[in-house]
């Protein structure tokens, strides 16, 4: 199992930093802004390499692209599981974990299966993380191959991917104001 070097001190200065959730008091980018950086890198990777390669290729290249953008990336992060008094330190492996805050699960299949999102949600619950991205490099289009999976995450204020805010509805013919 390869662990890339930790580049956590080279974050993009444009990213919002927060001390939330870090035992060492170090700052980290907002998870929504991290996800935007990952989506941008994955979009360019999809456009440049296209579909059809093995997941391991996309994993290695995406990890490198994110490290080049100054993010800390761990490949094949063990996800421990605790159940009925048992503690298995390597029950599962997350493809990529970015800045100890965002889990990325990669696929290279024709289309998502329902189990793929459930798998990522399980990782998020076991790791106590709020947000993950499921990225399928085998999909016909990049848009068809990306899903956000949320585990109790509620702070969407900084998301560039968000279209509507809670409590707002579209206005127009056939709609009424809240």
pLDDT digits (tens, 9 = 90+) for 35-77: 999 999 999 999 999 988 999 999 999 999 999 999 999 999 9
Instruction: Kindly state whether residue 144 falls inside one of the protein's structural domains.
Output: yes
Torsion angle of C-alpha atoms 80, 81, 82, 84, degrees rounded to 10: -150
Give the model's pLDDT for residue 109: 94
CA atoms within 13 A on the CB side of 141: 2
Q: What share of the chain is helix, strand, coil (3-state, %, to 5)?
A: 30, 25, 45
Instruction: Kindly state whether residue 51 falls inside one of the protein's structural domains.
Output: yes
Q: What's the domain count of the chain?
A: 1
- Per-residue pLDDT band at 152 (split at 50, 70, 90): confident
Q: What is the mean pLDDT of the chain?
A: 78
CATH number at residue 138: 3.40.1350
Give the model's pLDDT for residue 10: 35
Q: Could you list the residue range(s) of the whole structural domain that residue 140 is in? A: 30-150
């Amino acid at each position: 199992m390869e662990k890339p070097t930790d580049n956590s001190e080279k974050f993009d200065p444009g990213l919002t930093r927060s001390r939330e959730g870090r035992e060492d008091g170090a700052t980290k980018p907002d998870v929504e802004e991290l996800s935007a950086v990952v989506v941008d890198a994955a979009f360019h990777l999809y456009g440049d390499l296209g579909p059809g390669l093995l997941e391991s290729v996309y994993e290695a290249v995406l990890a490198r692209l994110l490290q080049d953008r100054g993010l800390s990336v761990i490949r094949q992060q063990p996800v421990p599981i605790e159940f009925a008094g048992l503690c298995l330190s390597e029950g599962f492996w997350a493809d990529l974990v970015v800045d100890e805050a965002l889990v990325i699960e990669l696929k290279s299949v024709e289309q998502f299966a329902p189990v793929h999102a459930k798998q990522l949600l399980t990782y998020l619950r076991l790791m106590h993380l709020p947000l993950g991205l499921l990225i399928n490099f085998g999909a016909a289009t990049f848009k068809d191959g990306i899903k956000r999976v949320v585990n109790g995450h509620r702070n969407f204020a900084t998301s560039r991917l968000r279209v509507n805010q809670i409590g707002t509805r579209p206005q127009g013919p056939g709609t009424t104001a809240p």
